[in-house]
Amino acid sequence: KRNVFMEAFEKIDRNLRAIFKELTDGDAWLEVEKPDDIFQGGIYLMVRFPGKKPKESLMLSGGEKTITTVAFILAMQSAFKSPFYLLDEIDAHLDAINLERLINILYDRSKESQIILITLKDVTLSKADKIFGVYQREGYANVVEYTPGIKVKEAQQ
Amino acid sequence: KRNVFMEAFEKIDRNLRAIFKELTDGDAWLEVEKPDDIFQGGIYLMVRFPGKKPKESLMLSGGEKTITTVAFILAMQSAFKSPFYLLDEIDAHLDAINLERLINILYDRSKESQIILITLKDVTLSKADKIFGVYQREGYANVVEYTPGIKVKEAQQ
Amino acid sequence: IYIKRIEIEGFKTFGKKVVLNLEPGYISVTGLNGSGKSNIFDAILFALGESSLKTLRATNLKGLLFDGGVSGARSSKAVVSIQFDNTSREIPVDSDTVTFTRELRENGESVFKINNKHVSKQMVLNLTQLCLISPEAFNVVLQGMINRIAELRPDERRRLLESLV
Amino acid sequence: IYIKRIEIEGFKTFGKKVVLNLEPGYISVTGLNGSGKSNIFDAILFALGESSLKTLRATNLKGLLFDGGVSGARSSKAVVSIQFDNTSREIPVDSDTVTFTRELRENGESVFKINNKHVSKQMVLNLTQLCLISPEAFNVVLQGMINRIAELRPDERRRLLESLV
Ligand SMILES: Nc1ncnc2c1ncn2[C@@H]1O[C@H](COP(=O)(O)OP(=O)(O)OP(=O)(O)O)[C@@H](O)[C@H]1O
Ligand SMILES: Nc1ncnc2c1ncn2[C@@H]1O[C@H](COP(=O)(O)OP(=O)(O)OP(=O)(O)O)[C@@H](O)[C@H]1O
Ligand SMILES: [Mg+2]
Ligand SMILES: [Mg+2]
């Protein structure tokens, strides 16, 4: 059991380092609390953003936590490949730079697994292969399909 | 005690109805769970958005909850006037229509009480009497003042 | 595998039937506040066997049925179907598409089907867990939950990895 | 009353002293993720007597002192001053401005001052509650907390109103 666990752990850790580097130019990694007795301890998610000291993921800002969470989810993909992702307004607290980087990496990953993103932001909409608009009419919810390239304001009825 | 409480309750309820109407064209009001024994029961925050049935505030969407919370906070202002408000990225999950209406009402209210809004959105920045930009340089956080009218991207270093 | 088609009728704000035809790749959904975007994700989780009312954002099962809004009549049942592309046969069912359907009646009873054949709820949960299309996996981030993973305690994070191994 | 001036030094990311001169009305703060925006709100709450580490987003009091980042030395103390305009004399202190100052030392001890005179923490809490400038009031919405008030249980909402009356 320990071996299987550590194999998955190593894979995820390796992936996390690569993805986080691509997203922020900083570093992220996993640390085992009790190497001699893994299942009695926890796993730390350590993060170092450019220009800052390394910290546990708990002590980050709102936007930094978003980036760290997405990096971790994508890193898990390497060990447990999921066929689809449902992400609901994960871009809400990101600045323009982090948003652009995040959407680029999600776009790359969408070649391997289907990614469905609910968003109110144009940048996130701009990369989509397909866009759905949800709107309310006479008390019923309806869905309409848009051709890619439409802006959020045009799609919000 | 009951009379003082009910006096504040009536004031807040009256204000809530007016503010929510201004924000959404819908209705919001407070309901006492146990009118005969107020302090044994709770207070419901009921909300009816245009085109929908009345519901408890718990059952709303993310953006609808944001609008409802701000309406409630501003309504409390009528009974307990606070000299300042600190609002941290409260606009993150709002669509363009709700954002515009929210910022307009906050701007009006800022004549009576100082309102400090942390934001990553241009609309929210556009109404400000004064703008501060926070940035990181060589490991230290700094603050600079901008003249109103600047866009978020220009202010984010 | 990918989600090929979603059909929703009588579930939350979807009083009338709506159909979404999807493709593999990057799909985006937008719309005004309260229009029903997050309700689509709730519908997907519902069809794949999700039973937590807290996750589905409802106070009781009946609360998942369309309440009639201002115009229509309340729905007496909610039906959601999720069709997966299965040409890779990663889902151990011998057909090019696998459709998970869940029907909820007014009495709170749920009926589960896979490719139109009645199955038990447990069967649905076993199958979705096997192919990692279960809502339990870390591939679903509901609205407002994005920071939760970064805020997990170290022991919670170990347990998450342990459960997936 | 309004916040006229904020001075922060040695608190969280503010290793070097920063000063914000404010006006009444509508003030906006922006900046990149992690730049220190929310830390400014934490500094205001800190100076007004906030003692919950969870609200201040720190694991211990020492965690509020600037950690040195990549360039500098760790701060040995954190000092935050909040100056209020008091020409209306709503704060029962006979001066045109009232400045709340809190100093935190490495040993975890806090020193409170009002207009540069040492006072007890209790004195600060009494005064801020009286003029509704206390962090307890509903006038502060920290990041990610906006939906909390809409999600309050009915009894919690009654208690909130009761506590303010
Ligand atoms: N059973 C039901 N019948 C009708 N309407 C319902 C039902 N259950 C929930 N709703 C309504 O669905 C709406 C919420 O929809 P949803 O959360 O999908 O919105 P959204 O598009 O995600 O909005 P936001 O952008 O604010 O997150 C609410 O207005 C709620 O009252
Ligand atoms: N004692 C400390 N010394 C140095 N840095 C600290 C200290 N405490 C917290 N920080 C850092 O402060 C940063 C968080 O700042 P803050 O939460 O104010 O960011 P923000 O500008 O609000 O960002 P966002 O837009 O993502 O919400 C984190 O990177 C965190 O590591
Ligand atoms: Mg939503
Ligand atoms: Mg912040």
Question: What is the average pLDDT value for chain B, to the nearest integer?
Answer: 94
DSSP state letter for D11: B
Q: Tell me if D154 sits within 8 A of B41, measured CB to CB.
A: yes
Give every CB contact of residue A48 below 8 A, 6+ residues apart in sequence.
A26, A27, A28, A54, A55
Given a cut of 80, whether residue A38 has pLDDT beyond it is yes
Residues, chain A: 157
Highest mean pLDDT: which of D26-35, D51-60, D142-151?
Answer: D26-35
pLDDT at position D165, please? 79
Chain C adjacent subunits, 3+ CB pairs under 8 A: A, B, D
pLDDT at position B131, please? 97
Q: Which chain B residues are within 8 Å of A94, Cβ to Cβ?
A: 120
Q: Give just the sign of the alpha carbon dihedral D68, D73, D74, D79.
A: negative
* Amino acid making up residue D163: S
Q: Give the C-alpha separation, D134 to B107, whole Å.
A: 23
Please give the distance of CA C12 from its chain centroid, rounded to a whole number. Answer: 13
Q: By alpha-carbon position, which residue is closest to atom 12 of ligand 1?
A: C13
pLDDT at position D163, please? 84
**Nearest ligand to residue A94 Cα:** 2
- Residue B122, classified by CB atoms within 10 Å of its CB into exposed (0-12), middle (13-18) or buried (19+), is middle
A60 lines ligand 2 (CB under 6 A): yes
User: Which residue from B131, C62, A42 is spatially nearest to D37, judged by alpha carbons?
Assistant: B131
Q: How far is A24 from chain B (nearest CA, A)?
A: 15
Q: Kindly report the three-state secondary structure assignment for every residue of C5-44.
A: EEEEECECCECCCEEEECCCCEEEEEECCCCCHHHHHHHH
| DSSP per-residue letters across B70-119 | HHHHHHHHHHS--SEEEEESTTTT--HHHHHHHHHHHHHHTTTSEEEEE-
Q: Tell me if D74 sits within 8 A of D14, measured CB to CB.
A: no
Q: Which two tokens stand for residue D128?
A: 């801020």
**Residues forming beta bridges with residue A84, ordered by sequence position:** A114
Q: By alpha-carbon position, which residue is closest to atom 2 of ligand 2?
A: D12
**Residues forming beta bridges with residue A27, ordered by sequence position:** A48
Q: Give the C-alpha separation, A110 to C27, whole Å.
A: 9
State the average pLDDT over residues B144-153.
94
pLDDT at position A156, please? 82
Per cent of chain C over pLDDT 70 is 98
CB contact under 8 A, A5 and C13: no
Kindly report, residue by residue over B12-61, the tens digit of the pLDDT: 999 999 999 999 999 999 999 999 999 999 999 999 999 899 999 989 99
Lowest-confidence segment of A130-139, B142-151, C57-66, C124-133 by average pLDDT: C124-133
pLDDT at position A138, please? 86
State the average pLDDT over residues D148-160.
92
Given a cut of 90, whether residue A81 has pLDDT beyond it is no
- Residue A96, classified by CB atoms within 10 Å of its CB into exposed (0-12), middle (13-18) or buried (19+), is middle
Per cent of chain B over pLDDT 90 is 89
pLDDT at position B138, please? 86
Kindly report, residue by residue over C98-141, the tens digit of the pLDDT: 999 999 999 999 999 999 999 999 999 999 888 777 666 678 99
Lowest-confidence segment of C134-138, D3-7, D78-82, D128-132 by average pLDDT: C134-138
Given a cut of 80, whether residue D84 has pLDDT beyond it is yes
Lowest-confidence segment of A147-156, C29-38, C130-139, D149-158 by average pLDDT: C130-139
Angle at A142 between CA A136 and CA A148, to 5 degrees: 105
| DSSP per-residue letters across chain C | -EEEEEEEESBTTB-S-EEEE--SSEEEEEESTTSSHHHHHHHHHHHTT---TTTTT-SSGGGGB---TTTSPPPSEEEEEEEEE-TT--SSSSSSEEEEEEEEETTS-EEEEETTEEE-HHHHHHHHHHTT-STTSTTEE-TT-TTTTTT--HHHHHHHHHHH-
CB contact under 8 A, C147 and D147: no
Q: Give the C-alpha separation, D28 to D123, whole Å.
A: 31
pLDDT at position D70, please? 85
Residues, chain B: 157
User: Which residue from D69, D66, D71 is spatially nearest to D12, judged by alpha carbons?
Assistant: D66
Q: Assign residue D112 a region: left if phi > 0, alpha if psi is -120 to 50, beta otherwise? A: beta
Q: Give the C-alpha separation, D29 to B143, whole Å.
A: 9
State the average pLDDT over residues A127-144.
95
Q: Which two tokens stand for residue D101?
A: 């100052």
Kindly report, residue by residue over A55-65, the tens digit of the pLDDT: 999 899 999 99
* Amino acid making up residue D104: L
pLDDT at position C71, please? 75
C-beta neighbour count of C69 within 10 angstroms: 18
pLDDT at position C136, please? 62
**Residues forming beta bridges with residue D85, ordered by sequence position:** D2, D97
Give the chain D residue nearest A49 (alpha carbons).
Answer: D34
pLDDT at position D134, please? 67
pLDDT at position B157, please? 74
Q: Give the C-alpha separation, A135 to A131, whole Å.
A: 13
Question: What is the average pLDDT value for chain D, to the nearest integer?
Answer: 93
Given a cut of 90, whether residue C24 has pLDDT beyond it is yes
pLDDT-based confidence at residue B8 (cuts at 50, 70, 90): very high
State the average pLDDT over residues B67-85.
90
